[in-house]
């Protein structure tokens, strides 16, 4: 996220020495309220990852340094978990990059509705999915920061015309009678110990007065594929601008334009960035874009519709944030790219649909934290904050 006069790398060596000339809107709004930027945190290169290992400075989980802090906004979660003084960090999510590290590090991760917070100054991963949110120690702090950064911005055409409001007013409100749907698809393939913690958390919500019902969201199984197609299509166009000419890392000028930028990209993009450029370029090529890119857009629409229907009957949907606890780096090394992508299965669906969601810590497996995921309807940040805050207090 661009910080004026302060190096902003997006976790990529291609931007290792890049200093933006302007502040992202979210950063500017915090500065206006007197907040100071104390540092920048590590992340997967351009947000491409689930474990913050796809970058040049890999952050470690403060609870167990042999484990990942999650990704792609791993740095922000790690630092909020580790520091006594840093109460919150801005983070971004495209397919779960706020919730995942929040769950792995045992902190709160709030991802607002797509468009609720301006993306101006956010270095693009996949523009139709990118969201700016908050990682914090408490739900109330997340709500407080959201109140400052949310609201329409004329510099971002996709920002929503939402009234400024104080989201902390949803904290401390009881949840009696609130209807919570628990989709069965979100428990398939989830580690047993994680599942037990989440079930216990849901039971607690019931005891707090919420009406809990089991539901089904059958389109969930298509979300991962649709998400990765859209995200990679957009990512591959966003990364085209990095060609070592006007900013970012450069080489001595040699060869013609094509030869020069190919060499720059070869040297400074990481492996995962290259993979996503290739896949993303493929799925939007003539002859393939119909069956991949355009179809994925249709699937997204259908998934949104399925959620909207669910939210006619339920205030909030509850699920585990991640199917596992933070894995060890040695375990991550053994995963294929497809297995890594599959870790996003639970977070990708609400992200694809642009729904607000929050991960709150809900117990431990050993010493490693587990996250409870609460998903709301579009612009229903208030409801997920209300439930998360009540859960946190109880």
Give the range of 29-37, 83-91, 176-184, 280-288 binding another protein by CB under 8 A: 280-288
Query: Quick check: 22 binds another protein (CB under 8 A)?
Result: yes
The DSSP bridge partners found for residue 108 are 136
Rank residues 200 and 285 by Cβ distance to another protein and give the closer one.
285
Q: Which of 40, 144, 276, 284 binds another protein (CB under 8 A)?
A: 284
What is the total residue count of the chain?
Answer: 394
Residue 343 and residue 321 in contact, taking contact as beta carbons nearer than 8 Å:
no
Q: Which of 289, 295, 304, 342 binds another protein (CB under 8 A)?
A: 289
- How far apart, in whole angstroms, are the C-alpha atoms of residue 126 and residue 107? 25
State in angstroms the smallest separation of the CB of 261 from another protein. 7
Query: Quick check: 240 binds another protein (CB under 8 A)?
Result: yes
Helix 25-32, helix 139-149: angle, nearest 10: 100
- How far apart, in whole angstroms, are the C-alpha atoms of residue 69 and residue 81? 10
CA 119 to chain centre: 13
Query: Quick check: 29 binds another protein (CB under 8 A)?
Result: no
State in angstroms the smallest separation of the CB of 120 from another protein. 5
Phi and psi at residue 49, in whole multiples of 5°? 160, 170
State in angstroms the smallest separation of the CB of 81 from another protein. 27
State in angstroms the smallest separation of the CB of 392 from another protein. 33
Q: In Å, what is the CA distance from 109 to each residue of 77, 163, 249, 264?
A: 8, 22, 32, 35
Query: Quick check: 19 binds another protein (CB under 8 A)?
Result: no
Q: Which of 128, 147, 165, 340 binds another protein (CB under 8 A)?
A: 128
Residue 130 and residue 90 in contact, taking contact as beta carbons nearer than 8 Å:
no
List binders of another protein among 241-260 (CB under 8 A). Answer: 241, 243, 245-248, 257-258
Residue 35 and residue 26 in contact, taking contact as beta carbons nearer than 8 Å:
no
State in angstroms the smallest separation of the CB of 21 from another protein. 6
- How far apart, in whole angstroms, are the C-alpha atoms of residue 40 and residue 220? 34
Buried b (16+ CB within 10 A) or exposed e, 199-224: eebbebbeebebebeeeebebbebbb
State in angstroms the smallest separation of the CB of 390 from another protein. 35
List binders of another protein among 106-125 (CB under 8 A). Answer: 119-124
Q: For residue 106, what are its two tokens?
A: 């045992």
Rank residues 237 and 340 by Cβ distance to another protein and give the closer one.
237
The secondary structure of residue 4, as a DSSP letter, is T
Q: Footprint of another protein on this chain (CB under 8 A)?
A: 1-2, 8, 10, 15, 18, 20-22, 24, 119-124, 126-128, 154-158, 233-234, 236-237, 240-241, 243, 245-248, 257-258, 261, 281, 284-286, 289, 293, 297
């Amino acid at each position: 996220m661009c910080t004026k006069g302060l190096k902003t790398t997006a976790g990529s060596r291609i931007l290792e020495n890049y200093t933006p000339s302007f502040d992202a809107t979210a950063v500017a709004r915090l500065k206006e309220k007197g907040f100071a930027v104390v540092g920048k945190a590590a992340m997967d290169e351009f947000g491409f990852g689930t474990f913050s290992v796809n970058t040049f400075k890999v952050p470690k989980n403060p609870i167990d340094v042999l484990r990942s802090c999650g990704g792609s906004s791993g740095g922000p979660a790690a630092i909020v978990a580790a520091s006594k003084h840093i109460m919150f960090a801005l983070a971004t999510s495209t397919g779960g990059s706020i919730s995942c590290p929040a769950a792995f590090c045992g902190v709160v991760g709030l991802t607002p509705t797509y468009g609720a917070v301006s993306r101006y100054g956010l270095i693009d991963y996949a523009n139709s999915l990118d969201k700016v949110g908050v990682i914090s120690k408490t739900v109330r702090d997340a709500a407080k920061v959201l109140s400052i950064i949310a609201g329409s911005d004329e510099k971002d055409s996709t920002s929503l015309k939402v009234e400024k409001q104080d989201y902390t007013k949803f904290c401390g409100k009881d949840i009696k009678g609130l209807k919570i749907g628990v989709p069965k698809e979100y428990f398939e393939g989830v580690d047993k110990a994680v599942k037990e913690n989440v079930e216990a958390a849901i039971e607690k919500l019931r005891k707090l007065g919420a009406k809990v019902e089991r539901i089904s969201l059958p389109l969930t199984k298509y979300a991962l594929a649709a998400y990765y197609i859209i995200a990679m299509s957009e990512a591959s166009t966003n990364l085209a601008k990095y060609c070592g000419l006007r900013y970012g890392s450069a080489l001595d000028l040699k060869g013609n334009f094509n030869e020069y930028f190919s060499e720059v990209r070869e040297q400074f993009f990481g492996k995962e960035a290259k993979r996503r450029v290739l896949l993303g370029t493929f799925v939007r090529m003539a002859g393939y874009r119909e069956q991949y890119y355009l179809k994925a857009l249709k699937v997204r629409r259908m998934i949104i519709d399925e959620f909207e229907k669910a939210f006619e009957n339920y205030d909030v949907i509850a699920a585990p944030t991640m199917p596992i606890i933070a894995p060890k780096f040695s375990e991550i090394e053994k995963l294929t790219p497809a297995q890594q992508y599959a870790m996003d299965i639970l977070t990708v669906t609400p992200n694809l649909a642009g729904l607000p969601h929050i991960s709150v810590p809900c117990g431990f497996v050993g010493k490693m934290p587990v996250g409870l995921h609460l998903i709301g309807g579009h612009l229903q940040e208030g409801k997920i904050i209300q439930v998360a805050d009540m859960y946190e207090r109880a």
